[in-house]
Structure 1
């Protein structure tokens, strides 16, 4: 027995080694013959830790670099921005499936320094994670500000501000024409600033009931310029790509001092919004005594949130200020930038400018100003605006999102946690859909020519 026990132990050990070896071989073979998931192509040249961040410099904007990558790797590819895998798409089919069919899997917003420091710690619905809070605020905005009924009620604001802007331009032209005899009726005007003042006045009156530019005194003008500067800086910082968001370990460095700037701007914007909130509460007490109805979106929010329990950990004032600032920042700079591009494109394309003028003369005439009811008849003007939005979208890259679960998009397997970045600039220039665009443009051009011929026949 003393001899057989060691031999038995040795046999058991050998059997154990063989079993373990068989298990490893089995897993290896199963892995080899397991169907491979169809992952999107990853761009080559990634570095450890930073991924593809070294490919993005100051020489070209990110959307141009991504467009060049799409030409090489296809309409869907991945890059590693720091430690995060990011899916960049520039295909109409992919965009449609992502935002129409499988929108719930890619609606979450990743955490970022911008959302924390400028978005009231994720209280702004444009930055907050997908969930009940986001749905409630989005619904409130859609119903109380962007619905057809509400836009119709606020139509007088758009009309009055546009009329005031045109009158002031005429006064400026008349004044400078009389002063300078060599101008030949031409006056140089910085239209970009005029558009910024106009759009800020419109959105401020609709959201906060404030009007900053135009017939205001010196103190209000200083407050207006301060608000405009803060909003510009806010919008600039929102569009920044911070290394700390891709490599969280480097957040403590605050590379470039951007987080410090964000905190300063956030404090200044909060002080301005706080002043608006106090004014609205005072006006609300006054309306209780004299009667009256809500005048703007901030009034509506104060009434709806008054006495309500904290939502997602935010108090009513924080939600009101964050939502209003979100709307003002998102609706002012984007609109003024699009208007500036539209005018620049018209001035650089005299033939198109002439067709727009002829359509206005034919459909509206020169005896009155254009009204919103004329827009359906201004087919060529609408085509010109659509072309401006196509060529120069206010946001060349869409807002970044994150997949909350494993998904299959147009045959591609997308792992959970992958981030989504649509390249709208490249999408608008997709040659596969250029034919549809050319047909629409041609129809608008034919419409304009038809009107010109009819006008000449009448004359």
Structure 2
């Protein structure tokens, strides 16, 4: 009852009145809303809001995991006016994302897709249609192909070294820094330079401000589940999203206009940025170009640095794992040079650390909702057409029926294991699977692995004075990605012989 009261008391009288009206309408049209059939089990629903409190109160992925523990791996929830199914096991994920992917690979129409992505003309929020197939092809064969990602290897190295230089300068001055802030700056620089070759430019700063405002506004929109509240917009969230969309579209228009004014000259594959590639396409519109670029900014700008912070947190909490990783780096790389991307495939324990981090801390815990395009059955239950489906990747990676000691951070479980994180096995799905699998998976894995390897191999990382590994917490904050709630403040200093840093432009003033 507390959850119900908490949700209602957080809303105004006008909101509650509108919800009561909505409840009456839902009752009047229950034969439309509730199609007959054997539904998946679920907890009792509250009047008016149904099960919406499980999304609104606390951390949704935790609440939904607890529901699955009680009611099973497939659960029915009534989220206001929206019927939804939550799946929380590898078997159910396989059914949704592989066996019946042709039914569940579409996206529901919604406020975010309509407002920010021009009614789903991007890839992330596009329904299963010709636009989706075209966007998917562009992403997988051109923008985020392995060849294209490899072409930005020099840029990734430049930005990682820049990050390390900043960290080492702070460390030399005996100053602690917030690792998340540092890595988010690196990630946004990488994204914007891949997109349109700008870093430090006024337009780039404007874009970063827009993305930060968008993150703080949030993607959980109340009116998505209570459509009658759209006209009221009591929280002001719809107005904020609309303004952010307008700012982003205006900014990208100016960037595109400037690019079109540039003298046309032939560019090699390694010189082209994503904007060049998209502008060369005759079969996509300017609007599509803008929303496809926004997909990349949102998908990578938060998730990559948040994953690295989780990995570093777990390594610091487990000194034996940190030591084993450093020993592997010293054995394979030595102490006379820095890690290069070409070394990553030889670092088996590093790869295991990354996989274990993604298992325990998948930053896209619920992904983007799917929707059934027709009625079907899953595990013997009737799933009506237009049902939203959320896959709880967080619960799947911590399933005690699959993983021994599931809450323990133990990278060795991935050594000599057939289980990978690339969407072919369903026991761990940080990048989802099927038609909606993240096309930026290769870029994410190489970026996380390379940055983490450099920090662990070339740097000594220390906690603030008086703190030990036992003081580190794993509290989360829920947003566009699930990040560490409390800052990870670290003292980062040199670990290798000084001449190694000099040869790689990492000399720190005064050293």
Task: Please give the TM-score of this superposition, normalised by the length of structure 1.
Answer: 0.77
Answer whether contact 2:372 2:384 (CA < 8 A) is retained: yes
- Which residue among 233, 241, 245 is the counterpart of 2:213? 233
Q: State the partner residue of 1:190.
A: 178
Q: State the partner residue of 1:52.
A: 51
Between the aligned partners of 2:373 and 2:46, the Cα distance in structure 1 is 25
Q: State the partner residue of 1:296.
A: 273
Q: State the partner residue of 1:173.
A: 171
Q: Which structure has the highest helix share of the two? A: 1
User: Could you list the per-position Cα deviations for residues 51-96 of structure 1 after superposition, in whole angstroms to 9, with x for gaps in the alignment?
Assistant: 22245544x2111111111111011110000122100000101101
Is the counterpart of residue 209 in structure 1 residue 197 in structure 2?
A: yes
User: Could you list the per-position Cα deviations for residues 390-445 of structure 1 after superposition, in whole angstroms to 9, with x for gaps in the alignment?
Assistant: 11111111211111111122332212121101111111110111149899725649
Instruction: Quote the offset at 1:355 in angstroms.
Output: 1.3
Aligned length: 378
Between the aligned partners of 1:55 and 1:348, the Cα distance in structure 2 is 30
User: Where in structure 2 are there 5+ consecutive unaligned residues?
Assistant: 1-35, 418-511
User: Could you list the per-position Cα deviations for residues 306-363 of structure 1 after superposition, in whole angstroms to 9, with x for gaps in the alignment?
Assistant: xx4xx6xxxx211111111111111111111111111222222222111111111111
Q: State the partner residue of 1:427.
A: 396
Inter-CA distance 373–436: structure 2 relative to 1 (3 Å threshold):
farther
Instruction: Quote the offset at 1:158 in angstroms.
Output: 1.3
Q: State the partner residue of 2:455.
A: none
User: Could you list the per-position Cα deviations for residues 178-220 of structure 1 after superposition, in whole angstroms to 9, with x for gaps in the alignment?
Assistant: xxxxxxxx431221111011111112121222223xxxxxxx3
Give me the CA root mean square deviation.
2.3
Q: State the partner residue of 1:287.
A: 264
Answer whether contact 1:161 1:202 (CA < 8 A) is retained: yes
Answer whether contact 2:198 2:204 (CA < 8 A) is retained: no
Instruction: Quote the offset at 1:116 in angstroms.
Output: 1.3
Instruction: Quote the offset at 1:38 in angstroms.
Output: 4.2
Answer whether contact 1:41 1:77 (CA < 8 A) is retained: yes
Between the aligned partners of 1:347 and 1:42, the Cα distance in structure 2 is 39
Task: Please give the TM-score of this superposition, normalised by the length of structure 2.
Answer: 0.70
Between the aligned partners of 1:233 and 1:141, the Cα distance in structure 2 is 26
> Which entry has the higher C-alpha Rg, 1 or 2?
1
- Which residue among 103, 106, 116 is the counterpart of 1:105? 103
Between the aligned partners of 1:225 and 1:300, the Cα distance in structure 2 is 23
Answer whether contact 1:39 1:413 (CA < 8 A) is retained: yes
User: Could you list the per-position Cα deviations for residues 28-68 of structure 1 after superposition, in whole angstroms to 9, with x for gaps in the alignment?
Assistant: xxxxxxxx954311321332x4222245544x211111111
Answer whether contact 1:380 1:445 (CA < 8 A) is retained: no
Between the aligned partners of 1:249 and 1:443, the Cα distance in structure 2 is 48
User: Where in structure 1 are there 5+ consecutive unaligned residues?
Assistant: 1-35, 177-185, 213-219, 447-459
Q: State the partner residue of 2:482.
A: none
User: Could you list the per-position Cα deviations for residues 290-313 of structure 1 after superposition, in whole angstroms to 9, with x for gaps in the alignment?
Assistant: x434511110110113xx4xx6xx
Q: State the partner residue of 1:6.
A: none
Q: State the partner residue of 1:252.
A: 231
